[in-house]
Amino acid sequence: MVTQKVLQKMAKRHGTPILVVDHDVIRQNYATFKKHLPRVQAYYAVKAFADPVVVKTLFDAGASFDVASMPELKIVYKNIKEMPAKERQDWIWDKIIYAHPIKADKTLQELNQYKPLVTYDNHEEIKKIKKYAPNAGLALRLKVPNTGAMVELSSKFGAAPGEAVDLILEAVKAGLVVEGLSFHVGSQTTNFDNYVQAINLAYSIFQEAKDRGYNKMNLLDIGGGFPAPYDSTVRPFSELAHKINVEIDRLFPKEIQILAEPGRFMVATAATAVSKIIGKAVRDGKVCYYIDDGVYHTFSGILFDHCQYHLNSFRKGAKQICTVFGPTCDALDVVSMSEELPPNLELGELLYSNNAGAYTIASSTPFNGFPPAKVVHVNR
């Protein structure tokens, strides 16, 4: 991670707020994922940090990509446009999954030319894919336990196990090719047993499909949810990887491709937010700092992602509990009601927040006239 000195230098050069992205950390996170899950191909979830420079770093490292919108697909496509047409198409088939189970008709029409792998989880989506994107390969998204996940997804997406094979056979009857299964155990999942249960459920669906005459599935997408080490309560990734490896090797032969969609794991620890104190007050005996970044910008994860970001001062000294507000006039714009900071910081001093790489630019808006943080890349 970049040093405090570099952060201060960047803030002086670019102004604040800024989001400093260390690409060495991204590469390290990718290498860690591959080391502990050697059989799993990492499809980076572009929505976690949809920046072309980040995508390029992961592209060069060997990653594949999970996209959930056409703008995300086009960010990835820019990295491969120089390839020969045939090689490019093979790359898309092997390296991109459009992992949003519900797609607009227009999106499917655009996707069809790329012949991508797409997910689905219901009858209506089969009809839409057949009509608008018949060249796509399909992966059925299963509903699996999301217990202990920071962001639960199973109430919105996923076919129930009892209807899974019916949906597979319905797609096949419509003339489509079902390549395999996918699932998602929920974002920032610290309950590792979710993966164990989901992999075993997927295996049972594979077996039922074979028993009912369909044996052409050749991939399993184990989704995202791999937890970023925000604090010491998150158990080591190696522990989770061991559980996954044991179940995959026990249940699925080598010819079955294993995919995953890590997003947060790849980028959360790679970025640091730097902001400036633009106001200060004492309210009910507590020091309150106002900074030029907030929940409408880098810290949107507080509202949308159930995430808490801790702020630090570059100045050393005694600390006490302070409140940190964002810059807008909205009372909702609260970064932290209880942050340990020096009480004697002055206007113009800087604060920084580590582990700010995941979903921090996803929901930024220019609300109230305040612009989002500028993204600054450190690519050594």
The catalytic residue positions are: 329
DSSP β-ladder status, 350-353 and 312-313: antiparallel
Alpha-carbon dihedral angle through residues 38, 220, 226, 136, given to the nearest 10 degrees = 110
Residue type, 117: L
Tokens 């005459």, residue?
Answer: 213
What number of other Cβ atoms are within 10 A of residue 286's Cβ?
A: 14
What number of other Cβ atoms are within 10 A of residue 54's Cβ?
A: 26
* 10 phi and psi angles, rounded to 5 deg: -65, -40
Residues, the chain, total? Answer: 380
Cβ contact 274:20 at 8 Å = yes
CA pair distance 32, 237, nearest whole angstrom = 9
Q: Over the Cα atoms of the chain, what is R_g? A: 22
Sign of the dihedral through C-alpha 51, 153, 144, 245: positive
Tokens 């079902």, residue?
Answer: 178
Tokens 């949003």, residue?
Answer: 100
* 41 phi and psi angles, rounded to 5 deg: -85, 125
Q: 277: part of which helix (H) or strand (E)?
A: strand 271-283
